[in-house]
Amino acid sequence: MKKLLALVAAITITACAYAQIEAPVKWGYFAKRTSPTEAIILLKATIQPGWHIYSLHVKKGGPIATSFTFMPSKDYTLMGPVSEPKPASKFEPSFKMNVTYFEKEVIFQQKIKLKSPNATVVKGALEYEVCNNQKCLPPEDVNFNIPVAK
């Protein structure tokens, strides 16, 4: 009976270890004022080795592009689109096309015009897909609240 109980416990522990959710990307957010009426919102992805996320600009039929949605606010307006550094590019057989992507770390930036000199919070959400050489995880949506201090 003890052997059977030990076997069941070992199988349960092994199954739980394999069932853990993979989270190869960690997001960090911060804002930097560039003047009393302007700021830059910085959205940083730290990506585990062997994984990558995709650029803001992915061709139709490819993977899910990283995207950002900012909630409308009376405290600020967006100045242009989100910007990104130059991505890497490679042919991915699973998509049968060249894709642009980032490994290790990437910082996306959004300039905003502040309508008031008081501190505010920029709210929104981002969506991204992360892949490695064997698989892609389902696209993930992440909400964010970024304080913009004086």
Sign of CA dihedral 100, 106, 111, 115: positive
And the tokens for 112? 């905003």
Tens digit of each residue's pLDDT, the chain (150 residues): 554 444 444 444 444 444 457 899 999 999 999 999 999 999 999 999 999 999 999 999 899 999 999 999 999 999 999 999 999 999 988 889 999 999 999 999 999 999 987 778 999 999 999 999 889 999 999 999 999 987
CATH number of 23-148: 2.60.40.1250
Give residue 129's pLDDT.
96
Q: Which of 16, 42, 54, 1 is nearest to 148 (CA)?
A: 42
Give residue 149's pLDDT.
84
- Tell me the CA distances in angstroms from 95 to 80, 98, 118, 136, 141, one per residue in order: 30, 8, 47, 11, 22
What is the separation of C-alpha 90 from the centre of its chain, rounded to a whole number of angstroms?
20
Q: Where are the domains of the chain?
A: 23-148
Task: Point out which residues pair with 97 in neighbouring strands.
Answer: 92
Give residue 8's pLDDT.
40
Is pTM, for the whole model, over 0.85?
no
Task: With residue 13 as reference, give the H or E element that holds it.
Answer: helix 2-18
